[in-house]
Amino acid sequence: MITKQEFGVLETTGQRIDNYTLKNRNGMTVTISEFGGAVVSIRVPDKFGRFSDVAAGYDSLRDYVLADGYLGALVGRTANRIANGKFTLDGKEYSLYCNNGKNSLHGGKVGYSYRVWNVRPVDGDEPKLILTLHSPDGEEGYPGNLDVTVTYTLLSNNALSIHYEAVTDKRTPVGLTNHTYFNLGGYASGLIHDHVLQINADTYLPTDETQIPTGEFRPVDGTVFDFREPKRIGQDIDADDPDLKLAGGYDHCFCFAGGATKAPERRIMVYEPNTGRAMTVYTDQPAVQFYSGNYMDCPEFPQKGGFPRAKQTAFCLETQSLPDSVNHPEFGNVILNPGETYTHTVIYQFSVMQ
């Protein structure tokens, strides 16, 4: 089932923005906005059958327009950071808007997270929303017209599938992701430190002081970045580790064992012991940016119901290509050619453990 509700009106253009709520036969709901393609809410049951919203977000459209943090949003044309806001492609240097110190982050000044997406609902037992966006040649400094399609599907097994496709008329870097902040205890339940996390990653990417990867693939073995066996997020989050200190916690790219796959594979599991909620993440991407919400403090933009945005009260698991790949050939190719189709699938499946 799909229902549509008016979310607000953009002050700059007067355009009405709607939210769409998808509901499956188990009662799970996901609410997605036309603005930024943002996941506004995910309501799933706990071990007692009680439903709570496990996605951080805002009550008002105005907050999504003005606040930072990319809560729930689709980000692109390239997710994560690009060093110095520059890259060279086919002998030409391109300059991007630097919105993260001297680097470009999540698409620049007005990335896809601040665009209004076209939405086509498709109702049924597994309801879906098909979102489309045209990104013109030169937008935010990127070459080529890019046409993007993102399909959100609420599956009958309490999973949210996100499938991305993009085509271009000129060679251009592409790397899309979703920036939902999760707290399986409920978005207003406090710190995420007791969540138990497992990531099937044998290396991670150390960064410089601006959080740009150095180019090293560092083994997680023997480090605070080893989540190959389940452990509490808070177990090592305050450890005396230079990479952790640079980011104020976890904000690092974890590289999956075996790299990218043809079809989504199980790569991540998170468990919250008080509610019994668990989330398993399947993807075909080579990596995930695990962000522990180190800079969520933002008192002027409280979350839904007035709950304050506070440090490490939610986390992100952004499946993606490796950050700054356009400047690191050793990270793999992220250039999309005319005639090709960029694809990326991630599935967040929710369950309960007694």
Report whether 97 contacts 104 (CB < 8 A): yes
Report whether 46 contacts 177 (CB < 8 A): no
Report whether 237 contacts 277 (CB < 8 A): no
How many CB atoms are closer than 10 A to CB 285? 24
* 22 DSSP β-pair partners: 2, 30
Distance CA 84, CA 212 (A): 9
**Could you tell me the two tokens for 121?**
């609902």
Place of tokens 């999760």: 182
Question: Would you call the peptide bond into 77 cis, given omega within 30 degrees of 0 as the criterion?
Answer: yes
Report whether 16 contacts 9 (CB < 8 A): yes
Which active-site residues does the annotation give? 179, 318
